[in-house]
Amino acid sequence: MRLVPVSGEVVILPAFSYSLAKLNQRDFVMSEDTIFGKIARGEADAKIVYEDDQCLAFRDMFPAAPMHILVIPRKPIPRLCDAEETDASLLGHMMLVANKVAEQEGLGDKFRLVINNGEGAGQSVFHLHMHIIGGRDLSWPPG
């Protein structure tokens, strides 16, 4: 399929036109080269508290609570909505890892799991991650 750039902003496809900004955003979302991808590959530092062949957990750099840990899959899934049926056991495994980490951190049964999906929901790093938050009282709704 041929892309014909006609201006700095627009690319004409045979039947559709998209703004370059949109294409770039999608390329960015699909990128494997996020900071979390680098952490998963051992190319960037993090305070890792758990790892196995499918996922790892490390301390959030800007904690929102006394205990704030992120669980990420080694597989670079950008957002939860990009996960597929074949990722079902990986997603389940991440939740069980969250349980293990919460126990390891002495949180008992008082912790919260959060997944921000997409920019509009507050996702800032486009490598799927589950926040484990605890160590203080947690109000609801989270806002």
User: Which residues are known catalytic residues?
Assistant: 129
Q: Between 17 and 25, whose beta carbon lies closer to ligand TR5?
A: 25
Stretch that binds ligand TR5, among 72-80, 83-91, 93-101, 121-129 (CB under 6 A): 121-129
**54 to 93: interface string for ligand TR5, x by CB under 6 A:** ------xxx-------x-----------------------
Alpha helices in 1-141 (DSSP H): 20-30, 35-40, 88-104
| Closest among 121, 35, 114 to 76, alpha carbons compared | 35
15, containing H or E segment: none
Q: Distance between CA 136 and CA 139 in Å, rounded? A: 10
Task: Give me the amino acid identity at 38.
Answer: K
Applying CB under 6 A, among 20, 88, 122, 136 the residue interacting with ligand TR5 is 122
Q: In this structure, what DSSP letter does residue 52 have?
A: -
Of 83 and 125, which CB lies nearer to ligand TR5 in the complex structure?
125
Identify residues 13-52 at the interface with ligand TR5 (CB under 6 A). Answer: 35, 44, 46
The strand pair at 55-59 and 67-73 is best described as: antiparallel
Interface with ligand TR5 by CB under 6 A: which residues? 35, 44, 46, 60-62, 70, 116, 122-125
